[in-house]
C-alpha cells in the first residue's frame, strides 16, 4: 500500500481478522476477483455501495450500469470517496481507485464508459457491500 496516513487504519494482522482471505488479497494486496464471479456484477437494487473495509459510502446505485466487463461498473463515485493512483503494473497505464478513508483497493477507473461521464469505475465485488434504500431512484 501507499505510505499515506488514512483516517481509518488497521495493522495487517487486524485487517486479516476483519477481512476474508479473498477480501484481504484484493483490498490490501491489490488483487482482483475473477470476471463474472462477484455478487454485485449483476446487482441493480436501489441503495448505496460501501467500502467493505471501513463502510464509507462510495457509489450510488443510480450510477451503476451493465458494462459486460465482468465486474460491477459505475459511471461516477460519491464526492471525495475515491483516491486515484497511477498504476503502471502489468505492462499498461491505468488509474487505480482506492477508498479515500482506508486506502483499500477497489479496482480501476477507465475512460471508456457509455454514459455522459465517459467513466467506467470497474470495481471488485469483494471490495464493497450494499446498503439498500427504497427512497433512492
Could you say which of 54, 99, 102, 122 is catalytic? 122
The answer for residues whose C-beta is within 8 angstroms of residue 13's C-beta and 6 or more apart is none
Place of cell 454485485: 40
DSSP secondary-structure letter at 21? H
Other residues' Cβ atoms within 10 Å of the Cβ of residue 42: 9
CA distances from 84 to 22, 42, 81, 96, 98 (A): 23, 25, 10, 6, 7
| Cα Rg of the chain, angstroms | 14
Q: How far apart are the C-alpha atoms of 130 and 64, rounded to whole Å?
A: 12
Residue 74 has phi, psi (to 5 degrees) of -130, 150
Catalytic, 51? Answer no
Q: Which residues are catalytic?
A: 122
Amino acid at each position: 500500500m501507499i505510505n499515506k496516513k488514512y483516517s481509518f487504519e488497521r495493522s495487517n494482522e487486524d485487517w486479516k481478522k476483519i477481512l476474508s482471505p479473498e477480501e484481504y488479497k484484493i483490498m490490501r494486496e491489490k488483487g482482483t476477483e475473477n470476471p463474472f464471479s462477484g455478487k454485485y456484477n449483476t446487482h441493480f437494487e436501489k441503495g448505496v455501495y460501501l467500502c467493505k473495509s471501513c463502510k464509507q459510502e462510495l457509489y450510488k446505485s443510480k450510477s451503476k450500469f451493465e458494462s459486460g466487463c465482468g465486474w460491477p461498473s459505475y459511471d461516477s463515485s460519491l464526492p471525495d470517496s475515491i483516491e486515484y493512483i497511477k498504476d503502471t503494473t502489468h505492462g499498461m497505464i491505468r488509474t487505480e481507485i482506492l477508498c479515500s478513508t482506508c486506502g483499500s483497493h477497489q479496482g480501476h477507473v477507465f475512460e471508456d464508459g457509455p454514459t455522459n461521464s465517459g467513466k467506467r469505475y470497474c470495481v471488485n465485488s469483494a471490495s464493497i457491500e450494499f446498503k439498500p434504500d427504497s427512497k433512492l431512484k
